[in-house]
Amino acid sequence: MNFKKILSSFIICFSAISFAQNSITEIETDKGIRYITTDIDYQVTGTYSFKGAEPIVVLNSDGTGIYQLHDQPQRTMIWGMECNKNGELKFVKGFDNVKYFLFYKYNSSLDAETEEKWNKVDFTIHLNSLKMFINGERAKNFTPKE
């Protein structure tokens, strides 16, 4: 009987820890309430560059990073991939790619009077070429999971 209680407790604790790692954030966008997460099955963190140079995008595992527009300074931001309320990622599967939706928001405004808003860009993973793209132009190579 004690073994069953210990096993049940272990399973409950393990499940709670597993679910806690998949954090979901509710955000307010121009199109209404959306949900984002940084938990994705691919190694998306890292630096994405435009033809090997600036402008860049940096995605950190804690949901922070840098997003630089063309001819603009690097700016810190927070980010996440669109998901539903349960944390299931929204995506579109193509012939040799998968498209997710990356939301990002700058931490500070260039103009003191402007409040920053959530921006949505495409995030595609091209399985044959082993490349990831943000907005179709910032790229990074990746190694598939084995």
pLDDT recorded at residue 146: 62
- 32: tokens are 């209404």
List the end-to-end C-alpha distance of the chain, in Å, as a whole number: 40
pLDDT recorded at residue 109: 73
Closest CA to 98 of 60, 66, 129, 64: 129
Amino acid at position 21, single letter: Q
- Pairing relation of β-strands 53-59 and 97-106? unpaired
Which residues are within 8 A (CB) of 115 and not within 5 positions of it... i.e. 6 or more apart? 109
Task: Say if residues 139 and 49 touch (Cβ distance below 8 Å).
Answer: yes
Instruction: Name the region of 96 (left: φ>0; alpha: ψ -120 to 50; beta: rest).
Output: alpha
- 28: tokens are 């307010």
Instruction: Name the region of 14 (left: φ>0; alpha: ψ -120 to 50; beta: rest).
Output: alpha
Task: Give pLDDT tens digits along the chain (146 positions).
Answer: 454 444 333 333 333 333 344 699 999 999 999 999 999 989 999 999 999 999 999 999 999 999 999 999 999 999 999 999 999 999 999 999 999 999 999 997 776 656 689 999 999 999 999 999 999 999 999 988 76
